[in-house]
Amino acid sequence: MPASSGSELEFKFQAVEEEELEPEYDVVIVGGGPAAFSAAVYSARFLMKSVMIGEEPGGQLTLAGTVDDYIGIPEVIASDLIERFQGHAAKYGVRLVMDRVESVEELEDSRKRVTTLGGRETVAKAVIVAIGSKRRKLGVPGEDKYNARGVSYCSVCDAPLFRGAEAVAVVGGGDSAVEGAALLADYAKNVYLIHRRDAFRAQPINVEALRRKGNVKFLLNSVVREIFGDTKVRGLIVEDLRSGRRSELRVDGVFIEIGFEPDVEFARRNGLGTSEGGYIVVDDWMRTTRPGVFAAGDCTSAWVGFRQVVTAVAQGAVAAYSAARYVRDKWG
């Protein structure tokens, strides 16, 4: 590996698509996002032979533009932060094999047989599941085109980037949308909260607090039909569901806060207990309902109301610690 220059990591990370897995590992980490990279670094530091198996380096972080809330690295481009995570894992020799884990089968001696969609197979003493969850999309024209160019899926992450903006919109009716609109009202001059119903799922006290904000306008019984712009978002086409009338709404950004979608099928297929919302149930030490299987990041039931890179990384570190202790207590 090349040496680092100053505080910058220059290690080049290779995501391996064709290379086979080794027959056995101490820890297999399922996923490729911040929680998975953190688990990889800590597993290696605990002297566990480890490998990552995931579909895409970065996970949900690939949807972000500029990250300004990761401690010590202000205003970093998301792709650069992912590269730093990759470089750190590479320093410890942990590979990311590009594939999708399908099953984690229990063996008689408590080891786990891990099988992938691509036909790969290995055995692990412990498994850390860090498959994240996906933010729901609107599925309208312009959404993908302007992603990270005015379209955001995290108000808490990106609100400061819109300081002084003339107007922004928030789409959704739950707590994340209402709380996001309240936060954005402190940065932008005008905030539009667009919700397809006339009542909110959010806590009433939060809705009432938002109504007292002088610069927030509620567009109820309304949906976004299109996001348009030039080099960045310039506005929305909004439809009033009662009248069917469509109108143009000029905004500098749109925050889509319509919830997450956990991979419920993966959890059920592999015997992992889930919460009512479909997230993998974990305790304070990131232990799941299956001995020897741990979970971290946005796929877990921990801290559901506050999803951040820093919380995912923290959970990944804890999961690695717990997995290392499990392996050493059981196998010495």
Chain segment 34-83, per-residue pLDDT in tens: 999 999 999 999 999 999 999 989 887 876 667 888 999 988 988 899 99
User: Do 15-135+261-331 and 151-256 come out as alike in CATH topology?
Assistant: yes
Catalytic residue among 99, 109, 144, 157: 157
**Residue 135: pLDDT above 90?**
no
Question: Residue 5: its pLDDT value, please?
Answer: 35
Q: Which is catalytic among the residues 69, 99, 144, 154?
A: 154
For 203-240, the pLDDT digits (tens) are 899 899 999 999 999 999 999 999 999 999 999 999 99
Pick the catalytic residue from 26, 68, 99, 158. Answer: 158
Q: Are 309 and 43 spatial neighbours (Cβ–Cβ below 8 Å)? A: no
What pLDDT is stored for residue 156 in this prediction?
Answer: 81
CATH of 151-256, one of 3.50.50.60, 2.40.160.60, 2.40.10.10, 3.40.462.20: 3.50.50.60
pLDDT of res. 251: 98
Residue pair 171/297 in contact by the 8 Å Cβ criterion: no
Extents of the domains making up the chain: 15-135+261-331, 151-256
- Contact criterion met (CB below 8 Å) for 247 and 269: no
Distance CA 113, CA 124 (A): 7
**Rounded-to-integer distance, Cα 236 and Cα 230, Å:** 12
Residue pair 309/273 in contact by the 8 Å Cβ criterion = no
| Burial letters 290-300, b for 16+ CB under 10 A, else e | bebbbbbbbbb
Q: Which of 88, 79, 101, 97 is nearest to 42 (CA)?
A: 88
Res. 107: pLDDT tops 60: yes
- Superfamily covering domain 15-135+261-331: FAD/NAD(P)-binding domain (3.50.50.60)
Active site residue 299: no
Please state the pTM of the whole predicted model. 0.73
* Amino acid making up residue 307: R
pLDDT, residue 64, reads 67
